[in-house]
């Protein structure tokens, strides 16, 4: 099992926040301040401290970690294809990769090369995956799906397509491929600026120790900052009360509920405290109690009178009177209408049916009880005398009396009579009531002496009662509007009642205080209530002290749980598996291959804070730290050496991928890197991404010398997007024969524009073609004529190749003519060349053919020249 796999398995037993830290360190190598803030919050959450942002821990997934290499399993990449939603890479591209030897993928800056390398890092579970894969900015957000790619792979020679989808576990087989780039290079420089070989993954444990210590330190500091301040409760804590016990235990087991329960008082308790304060402060409680009881009794009596008056003139009573008066008036109107009809009968005296007449008839009814005791009025004999005129009634008189009686007794008249009676009764109840509250000067002064507000309320009520009575009576007679009768103020009765209750309670308390036992109980009660009153004033501070104590207790639990010795022990145990001569030998061999001879690895295990590593000691006579001696290029070479040593010690057969490996390296060290990568390609698949044409040429030449197949690919940009694959490399990298092929395609484009009559474009392309033709002649001199004896940018001269070289007059003439012709149209600026006629496309074709004919002739005589000289 690899170190990173060991760490992954071991980390499952760690607290969730430390597992989150490992996931962050695995993904980003270092932690930002925001990361540390998150981890601190997560650590506190595990011990019951709420996080306002509700952050949740993430764990390193098994699919993120490169699986340990399987012995004898060979995984090779054949191509990357069907790419979608990856930066601005053109969709459905296919980038082929050679199974054996080297594949050099060239791309200028901004052509999409980094897009492919980022996919490889994600799919192959590279350790450094900080560079994000972004969607195509040219697409609408709704059109963008997850980034995807398909890898044509070979597992032990068997073809298989492996699909990678961003955000899902990468195919396990691809984790056999190791990735190196500029970010990985920094992984081997420790925090002290020393260059150290840290076994892959051990720096995670070192950083975990560091961040754990920082989290612990922050928790300690927060504990100090949040230490509860209870000095303000010292006086309360000294009282022999329930509050005193609570104040003394604020740093103990007191809860917020305990504080809330005691730090609240009802209105009754507040009044009781006031009563106790006054009673216990009185010098002569007996006399004072008498005074208060008498006053309370008088106030109670006044409250009773006010209540009675309020009841008589209440809203309900006034509304009742209004209803009865209205009903009486309506009934009266109905009766008057009936009387009007009665009066209109013929033969009746004027006024018949009026109220006066009705009264007279009722008197006659009463008199008939005496004058006609044997008859039931008005049913008397025709021979009887009339009770009114005392003349014989006769049949007509009896009939008239009966009709009069029927009129008086009819429904309308009776209803009017009844309604009037009810209205009059209600009217009289209000008219005759005594509304005098009896507030004489003495009582008025007593009220004002106790509370001016109560005195004013009582006087206001007295005036309001008189006005309301008068206005109600006026409204009954239609001389005042019912709706304008003002309501009565009701606060006087309530104030009097409360005052009476308080006075009588105070009197009772004073009377109780006379008894010593009762007084002692009152003193205890006063102390309890007063302590609660003072706690109410300090409630917020008390709750804060409890909160801080609980918070600090949780923080202390968090502090106690953070112990880094276990991490250090794991780091030491893992590093010991690497502390072998095999590791030292592998590192020194790689340094030597990369020409970093001045450095030598020695086994020097160290565990500063859990960070176990082997220092690369620089052997200099005067000593000095490596960071002040080594150049950036040498540091880069050290990183490559460490990476290759890890790959070798991993025992895996999988390929390796380099993204711009020679950044910051000078041309000499590039040769060493190229040579080392070519050598490695004899054992495994090697893929190199580069934007450096010079390095590309070096790798090609080193591969040719070593007899290693080197496949070249080129990626560029086009109408479909970036990362367009082509096998056509830049002109600068081509041999003379391949340049001739390119020039012939150039000539075809010139001929096309010439045929279309596009003179300006034809002229431009022709000059460009002659510029490239001149470069091809120069390459021919170097490669064909001198057979690579002297090659630009290559160190040394290949003298053995002189056996192929001979320079004849025909060579001079051909080269001179070709260079002169090419320079005529490519070597001058447009102003001076404007007077020269542009060669016809056919003429350009002839000039290209002359180069190829010369090349073929020289290659043909090569064997003969060699034969003469051997």
Dump pLDDT digits (tens) for 13-41.
999 999 999 988 887 778 999 999 999 99
**Can you tell me the distance from the alpha carbon of 210 to that of 213, in angstroms, rounded to the nearest whole number?**
5
Torsion angle defined by CA atoms of residues 817, 820, 823 and 828, in that order, rounded to the nearest 10 degrees? -160
Angle at 598 (CA atoms; ends 597, 604), nearest 5 degrees: 105
Q: Is 55 strand, coil or helix?
A: coil
Our measurement of the distance from residue 416's CA atom to the centroid of its chain's CA atoms, rounded to an integer in Å, reads 81
Beta bridge partner(s), residue 151: 80, 162
**Can you tell me the distance from the alpha carbon of 836 to that of 845, in angstroms, rounded to the nearest whole number?**
18
Return the percentage of the chain with pLDDT > 70, whole number: 86
Lowest mean pLDDT of 504-518, 626-640, 680-694, 846-860, name the range: 626-640
Angle at 46 (CA atoms; ends 45, 48), nearest 5 degrees: 60
pLDDT in the model for residue 104: 92
Query: Is the per-residue pLDDT at 5 higher than 90?
Result: no
Model confidence pTM above 0.75? no
pLDDT band at 47 (very low <50, low <70, confident <90, very high): very high
Q: Is 708 strand, coil or helix?
A: coil
DSSP letter (8 states) at residue 715: E
Domain segments of the chain as ranges: 320-430, 734-870
pLDDT in the model for residue 342: 61
Q: What would the mean pLDDT of 559-580 be, rounded to a whole number?
A: 82
Q: Is residue 60 a contact partner of residue 23, using CB atoms and an 8 Å limit?
A: yes
Q: What would the mean pLDDT of 1-17 be, rounded to a whole number?
A: 85
DSSP letter (8 states) at residue 142: G
Q: Is residue 234 a contact partner of residue 251, using CB atoms and an 8 Å limit?
A: no
pLDDT in the model for residue 539: 92
pLDDT band at 138 (very low <50, low <70, confident <90, very high): low
Lowest mean pLDDT of 334-348, 480-494, 849-863, name the range: 334-348
pLDDT band at 325 (very low <50, low <70, confident <90, very high): confident
DSSP letter (8 states) at residue 475: H
Beta bridge partner(s), residue 148: 84, 165
Dump pLDDT digits (tens) for 207-240.
999 999 999 999 999 999 999 988 898 888 888 9
**Can you tell me the distance from the alpha carbon of 700 to that of 712, in angstroms, rounded to the nearest whole number?**
9
Which H or E run includes 703?
A: helix 693-706
Closest C-alpha to 765, from 780, 786, 750, 743: 750
- 487 vs 627, residue with greater confidence: 487
pLDDT in the model for residue 347: 65
Query: Is the per-residue pLDDT at 111 higher than 60?
Result: yes
pLDDT band at 79 (very low <50, low <70, confident <90, very high): very high
Q: Is residue 62 a contact partner of residue 2, using CB atoms and an 8 Å limit?
A: no
Q: Is 489 exposed, middle or buried (0-12, 13-18, 19+ CB in 10 A)?
A: middle
pLDDT band at 152 (very low <50, low <70, confident <90, very high): very high
All residues at 6 or more sequence positions from 693 whose CB lies less than 8 Å from its CB, including other chains: 106, 730, 732, 733
Lowest mean pLDDT of 49-63, 351-365, 520-534, name the range: 351-365
- 191 vs 80, residue with greater confidence: 80
- Gyration radius of the chain's alpha carbons: 58
Query: Is the per-residue pLDDT at 160 higher than 90?
Result: yes
pLDDT band at 615 (very low <50, low <70, confident <90, very high): low
Query: Is the per-residue pLDDT at 309 higher than 70?
Result: yes
**Can you tell me the distance from the alpha carbon of 680 to that of 674, in angstroms, rounded to the nearest whole number?**
10
Q: Which parts of 482-566 are beta strand (E)?
A: none
Query: Is the per-residue pLDDT at 348 higher than 80?
Result: no
Query: Is the per-residue pLDDT at 408 higher than 70?
Result: no
pLDDT in the model for residue 136: 66
Q: What would the mean pLDDT of 651-678 be, rounded to a whole number?
A: 85
Q: What would the mean pLDDT of 508-513 be, rounded to a whole number?
A: 80
Q: What would the mean pLDDT of 615-644 be, rounded to a whole number?
A: 65
pLDDT in the model for residue 126: 79
Compute how many other C-beta atoms are within 10 angstroms of the C-beta atom of residue 96.
Answer: 16
pLDDT in the model for residue 132: 78
Give the Å distances, CA to CA, from 824 to 156, 777, 810, 830, 850. Answer: 58, 14, 21, 11, 16
Question: What backbone torsions phi and psi does residue 187 show, to the nearest 5 degrees?
Answer: -70, -10
Give the Å distances, CA to CA, from 203 to 30, 32, 130, 568, 601. Answer: 10, 16, 17, 11, 18
Q: Is 381 strand, coil or helix?
A: coil
- 159 vs 26, residue with greater confidence: 159
Compute how many other C-beta atoms are within 10 angstroms of the C-beta atom of residue 169.
Answer: 13
pLDDT in the model for residue 187: 43
- 17 vs 596, residue with greater confidence: 17
CA torsion through residues 590, 591, 592, 593, sign: positive
The encoded tokens of residue 18 equal: 């430390």
pLDDT band at 833 (very low <50, low <70, confident <90, very high): very low
Closest C-alpha to 102, from 676, 717, 669: 676
Q: What is the largest CA-CA distance in the chain?
A: 192
pLDDT band at 621 (very low <50, low <70, confident <90, very high): very low
Our measurement of the distance from residue 858's CA atom to the centroid of its chain's CA atoms, rounded to an integer in Å, reads 73
Dump pLDDT digits (tens) for 288-303.
878 888 888 888 888 8
Dump pLDDT digits (tens) for 556-567.
999 999 999 899
**Can you tell me the distance from the alpha carbon of 59 to that of 76, in angstroms, rounded to the nearest whole number?**
30
- 374 vs 300, residue with greater confidence: 300
Return the percentage of the chain with pLDDT > 90, whole number: 19
Question: What backbone torsions phi and psi does residue 164 show, to the nearest 5 degrees?
Answer: -110, 130
What is the overall mean pLDDT for the chain? 82
Q: What would the mean pLDDT of 422-447 be, rounded to a whole number?
A: 85
pLDDT in the model for residue 870: 74
Q: What would the mean pLDDT of 281-293 be, rounded to a whole number?
A: 79
User: What are the counts of helices (DSSP H) followed by strands (DSSP E) for the chain?
Assistant: 30, 13
**Can you tell me the distance from the alpha carbon of 784 to that of 121, in angstroms, rounded to the nearest whole number?**
42
Residue 217: CA count within 13 A, CB half-sphere: 7
pLDDT in the model for residue 597: 67
DSSP string, 83-107: EESSTTBPTT-EEE--SSSEEEEE-
Q: What would the mean pLDDT of 318-325 be, rounded to a whole number?
A: 84
Q: Is 286 exposed, middle or buried (0-12, 13-18, 19+ CB in 10 A)?
A: exposed
All residues at 6 or more sequence positions from 275 whose CB lies less than 8 Å from its CB, including other chains: 502, 505, 506, 509
pLDDT in the model for residue 812: 87
Closest C-alpha to 355, from 426, 409, 408: 408
**Can you tell me the distance from the alpha carbon of 786 to that of 806, in angstroms, rounded to the nearest whole number?**
8
């Amino acid at each position: 099992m690899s170190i990173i796999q060991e760490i992954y398995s071991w980390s499952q037993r760690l607290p969730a926040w430390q597992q989150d830290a490992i996931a962050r360190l695995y993904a980003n190598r270092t932690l930002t301040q925001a990361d540390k803030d998150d981890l601190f919050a997560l650590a506190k959450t595990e011990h019951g401290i709420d996080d306002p942002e509700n952050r949740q821990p993430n764990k390193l997934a098994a699919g993120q970690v490169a699986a340990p290499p399987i012995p004898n399993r060979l995984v090779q990449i054949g191509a990357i294809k069907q790419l979608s939603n990856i930066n601005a890479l053109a969709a459905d591209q296919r980038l082929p990769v050679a199974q054996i030897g080297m594949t050099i993928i060239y791309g200028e800056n901004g052509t999409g090369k980094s897009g492919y390398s980022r996919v490889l890092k994600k799919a192959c579970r590279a350790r450094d995956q900080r560079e994000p894969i972004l969607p195509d900015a040219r697409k609408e957000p709704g059109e963008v799906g997850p980034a995807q790619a398909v890898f044509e792979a070979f597992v032990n020679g068997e073809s298989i397509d492996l699909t990678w989808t961003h955000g899902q576990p990468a195919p396990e087989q691809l984790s056999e491929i190791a990735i190196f780039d500029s970010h990985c290079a920094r992984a081997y420089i420790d925090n002290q600026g020393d260059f150290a070989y840290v076994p892959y993954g051990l720096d995670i444990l070192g950083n975990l120790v560091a961040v754990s210590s920082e989290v612990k330190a922050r928790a300690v500091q927060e504990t100090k900052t949040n230490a509860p301040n209870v000095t303000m409760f010292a006086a309360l804590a000294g009282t022999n009360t329930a509050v005193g016990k609570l104040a003394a235990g604020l740093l103990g087991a007191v809860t917020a509920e305990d504080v809330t329960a005691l730090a609240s008082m009802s209105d009754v308790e507040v009044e009781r405290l006031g009563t106790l304060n006054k009673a216990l402060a009185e010098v002569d409680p007996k006399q004072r109690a008498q005074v208060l009881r008498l006053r309370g009794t008088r106030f109670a009596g006044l409250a009773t009178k006010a209540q009675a008056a309020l009841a008589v003139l209440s809203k309900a009573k006034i509304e009742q009177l209004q209803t009865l008066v209205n009903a009486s008036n309506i009934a009266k109107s109905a009766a008057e209408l009936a009387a009007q009809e009665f009066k209109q009968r013929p033969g009746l005296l004027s006024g018949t049916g009026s109220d006066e007449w009705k009264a007279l008839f009722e008197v006659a009814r009463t008199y008939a009880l005496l004058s006609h005791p044997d008859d039931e009025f008005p049913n008397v004999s025709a021979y009887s005398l009339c009770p009114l005129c005392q003349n014989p009634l006769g049949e007509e008189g009896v009939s008239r009396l009966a009709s009069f009686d029927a009129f008086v007794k009819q429904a309308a008249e009776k209803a009017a009579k009844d309604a009037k009676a009810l209205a009059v009764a209600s009217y009289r109840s209000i008219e005759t009531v005594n509304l005098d509250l009896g507030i004489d000067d003495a009582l008025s002064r007593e009220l004002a002496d106790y509370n001016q507000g109560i005195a004013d309320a009582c006087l206001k009520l007295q005036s309001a009662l008189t006005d309301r009575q008068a206005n109600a009576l006026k409204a009954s007679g239609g001389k005042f509007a019912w709706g304008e009768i003002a309501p009565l103020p009701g606060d006087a009765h309530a104030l009097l009642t409360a005052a009476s209750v308080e006075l009588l309670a105070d009197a009772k308390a004073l009377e109780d205080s006379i008894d010593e036992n009762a007084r002692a109980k009152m003193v205890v009660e006063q102390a309890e209530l007063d302590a609660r009153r003072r706690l109410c004033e300090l409630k917020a501070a008390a709750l804060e002290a409890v909160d801080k104590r609980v918070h600090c207790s949780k923080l202390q639990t968090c502090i106690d749980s953070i112990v880094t010795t276990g991490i250090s022990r794991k780091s030491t145990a893992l590093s010991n598996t690497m502390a072998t001569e095999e590791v030292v030998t592998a590192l020194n061999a790689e340094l030597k291959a990369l020409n970093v001879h001045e450095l030598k690895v020695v086994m020097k295990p160290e565990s500063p804070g859990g960070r176990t590593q082997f220092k690369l000691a620089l052997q200099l006579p005067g000593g000095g730290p490596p960071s002040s001696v080594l150049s950036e290029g040498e540091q880069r070479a050290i990183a490559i050496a460490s990476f290759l040593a890890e790959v070798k010690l991993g025992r895996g057969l999988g390929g390796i991928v380099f993204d711009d490996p020679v950044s910051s390296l000078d041309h000499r060290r590039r040769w060493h890197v190229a040579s080392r990568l070519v050598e490695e390609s004899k054992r495994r698949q090697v893929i190199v991404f580069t934007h450096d044409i010079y390095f590309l040429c070096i790798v090609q030449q080193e591969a040719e010398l070593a007899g290693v197949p080197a496949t070249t690919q080129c990626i560029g940009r086009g109408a479909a997007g970036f990362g367009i694959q082509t096998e056509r490399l830049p002109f600068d990298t081509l041999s003379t024969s391949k340049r001739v092929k390119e020039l012939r395609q150039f000539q075809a484009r010139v001929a096309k524009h010439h045929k279309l009559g596009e003179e300006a474009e034809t002229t431009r392309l022709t000059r460009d073609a002659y510029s490239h033709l001149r470069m091809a002649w120069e390459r021919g001199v170097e490669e064909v004529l001198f057979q690579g004896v002297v090659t630009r940018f290559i160190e040394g001269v290949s003298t053995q190749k002189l056996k192929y070289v001979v320079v004849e007059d025909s060579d001079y003439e051909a080269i001179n003519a070709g260079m002169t012709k090419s320079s005529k149209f490519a070597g001058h600026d447009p102003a001076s060349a404007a007077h020269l006629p542009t060669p016809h496309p056919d003429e350009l074709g002839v000039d290209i053919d002359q180069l190829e004919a010369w090349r073929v002739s020289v290659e043909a005589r090569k064997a003969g020249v060699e034969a003469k000289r051997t």
